[in-house]
Amino acid sequence: MSAANSNIRDYPGFRLLTLVFFLWLYLPIAVVIYYSFNDNRLVSVWTGFSTKWYASALENAALMSALRVSLTVAVIATIFATAIALVSALVLTRAQGLKFRRVSETVVNLPLLLPEIVLAVAVLILFSQIGLQNGMVRLVLAHTAFCTPFAFMPIRARLQGMPMDFEEAARDLYAAPLTVFRRVTLPMIMPGLFAGAMTAFVISMDDFITSNMLNSGGATTLPVYIFSLIRQGTTPELNAVSTLLIAASLVLATIVIVLNARAMRREG
- Domains in the chain and their CATH numbers? 54-267 (1.10.3720.10)
Mean pLDDT of the chain: 84
Residue 226 has pLDDT above 50, yes or no: yes
Residue 206 CA: distances (Å) to CA of 69, 188, 226, 251? 13, 29, 11, 15
Q: Note the pLDDT of residue 263.
A: 66
What three-state secondary structure class fits 46? coil
**Residue among 10, 83, 56, 108 nearest 241 (CA):** 56
Q: Are 74 and 201 within 8 A, CB to CB?
A: yes
Bridge partners (DSSP) of residue 38 are 49
Mean pLDDT, residues 259-268: 69
Q: Note the pLDDT of residue 166.
A: 79
What's the burial of 99, exposed, middle or buried (CB within 10 Å: 0-12/13-18/19+)?
Answer: exposed
Beta strands in 113-221 (DSSP E): none
Q: Note the pLDDT of residue 57.
A: 83
**Residue among 121, 110, 171, 177 nearest 146 (CA):** 110
Q: Note the pLDDT of residue 16.
A: 86
Residue 1 has pLDDT above 70, yes or no: no
User: In this predicted model, what pLDDT tens digit does every residue of 126-170 receive, in sequence order?
Assistant: 998 998 888 899 999 999 999 999 999 999 988 888 877 778 888
Q: Note the pLDDT of residue 267.
A: 61
Ramachandran quadrant class, 131 (left: phi over 0; alpha: psi -120 to 50; beta: rest): left
